[in-house]
Amino acid sequence: MTLTDYDTALVTGASAGIGAAVVADLCGRGLTVHAVARREDRLAELAAATGCSTHVLDVRDTEAIDDLFGSLDIDVLINNAGVGRAIQSLVGADPDDIDQTIDTNVTAALHAVRAVLPSMIERGVGHVVNIGSVAGLYPMSSGVYGASKGAIHFLSTNLRLELAGTGIRVTEICPGRVRTEFYDAAIDDPDLRDAMKETGITEITSEDVAAAIAYALDAPWYVNVARIELQPTEQTYGGMQVTPIQGRDQDQ
């Protein structure tokens, strides 16, 4: 099976997790896939397994994005690269962790879109898929990561307005808990990391997310799947928990 209107795809954060699953899925559907990530050894394994083309690149390097992304006629951009440093709390967060999260999750995504759009618009063919998160849609007590994914949400909705009439489609994918290496890279404290990972629920897989992306890409040209929100059946969001303010006399 091939996706009707698309021949080439570029996937960032492709060395593991969702990115690697998307590369494998799109290669299996007959697309020429460019896999972008920092870890050369992981990319080599992915290329051997899927036949993708690999590019060792840190998406925070704007010049490198311009040189590579702008030189390829890409039909599908999968903006997947992301990190969750400072995910626990803004209070006391390491400034370097804040910068890494914003630079990777937001700034790099903006530059990636900017680099591929001119060719898409000129050819009248293209699809931008931004990997957001339920953390960008609902309050989840994670100011830094939530803010970064909230930016991706509004990038996606506003980009739809900017591109109206060009034929370029924009999709935002908002997963909940996914079984990946995310928390291993996001949290240094082993006890806290284990606590965050041990949820007792059946998490969705990277392949589930890849299938959702394929659904959006495979829709007829006149259908824009604007947003897909997917999460474990045992996980949900919203509501409010009331906690007494520390040090405040509640009878006053």
Closest CA to 132 of 213, 219, 68, 199: 213
* Positions marked catalytic: 145
Quickly tell me which residue has 């969001």 as its tokens.
237
Q: Tokens 């954060």 appear where?
A: 13
- The partner residues of 8 in beta bridges, in order of sequence, read 32
Q: Is the CB of residue 235 less than 8 Å from the CB of residue 169?
A: no
| N- to C-terminal Cα separation, the chain | 67
Eight-class DSSP state of 138? S
Q: Output the CA angle 37-75-10, nearest 5 degrees.
A: 5
- Secondary structure class of 33 (helix, strand, coil): strand
Q: How far apart are CA 248 and CA 250, in angstroms?
A: 6
State the Cα–Cα distance between residues 153 and 130, nearest whole angstrom: 8
